[in-house]
Amino acid sequence: MAPMKSAAIISKPSKPELAGILPELLAWFGKRGYKLYVDEQTAEYIDGGEVVVRKNMGHKHPDFVLVLGGDGTLLSAARAVAHEGVPIMAVNLGSLGFLTEVPLNEMYTTLEAIDAGTCPMEQRAVIDCTLFRSTEAIAHHFALNDVVVNKSAIARLVDFDLLIDGAFAFNYKADGVIIATPTGSTAYSLAAGGPVLMPSVQSFVVTPVCPHSLTHRPLVVTDKAQIDLRIETGAEEAFLSIDGQIGMPVQQGDRVLCHRAQHSVKLLRVRRTFFDALRNKLKWGQR
């Protein structure tokens, strides 16, 4: 006998339209013989499927995860399942939705393609980030978009020493520094003046936020590089954030070490190009 198909649904909290979307989805999966896992947010709207805490969803090894929400929901889902190699299909229920590119009116045609094994899939690089205090690793996280060190609300400029593969590159005095993947190049890094990178480019971009020196510009490095950010805050406190969702304070002498993770995020996509997304989401000129 063929193994039973399985899928998971992860939903954005407090989206009233889910009450009309999810019962029909439950029926669609049921008719096609899927075992279904749902997170707690999804379970608020339907009575069906095994309820699993989001952070544990990857342990169930579903064939794919359906994300209903915006880019923030996708980023959260990616941290929960990507390390287990689970592909993600993201339906945009948010506003900009640069990553959640499947519109609601194309959800079922995309699901049919996934079920038939004909849906395109992209692999996106992930940052492996470790925060060191002295010689102790006190935090470890993965980021699909970016790792950011910013000053706190009332702090002065923060000093950052940047080392690439152990070699000193330069010192920043800035409000912050962003280390972004190609996927994250269209997020905070873009707003801070960084370049747009195609998702297939094997690189990361280091973008200063409001640097004191006008000669400091974003730096593109290979994704094989080890990026070492050494923080000199003095008596002030700065803040480390992962994909804008996980945060923790950093102190004088802390080090943020970043390199490419061994796993990637697998995105199941509609058949559009990256440039279609740029024109649509960023309102670039039409041909």
Which positions are annotated as active-site residues? 71
- Residue in 115, 70, 100 with CA at minimum distance from that of residue 267: 100
Spatial separation of the C-alpha atoms in residues 85 and 73, rounded to whole Å? 18
CA-CA-CA-CA torsion sign (139, 202, 68, 65): negative
Compute CA distances 170 → 55, 166, 184, 224, 256, whole Å. Answer: 38, 12, 23, 19, 15
Spatial separation of the C-alpha atoms in residues 76 and 70, rounded to whole Å? 10
Question: Which residue has tokens 């096609």?
Answer: 32
CB neighbours of residue 96 within 10 Å? 14
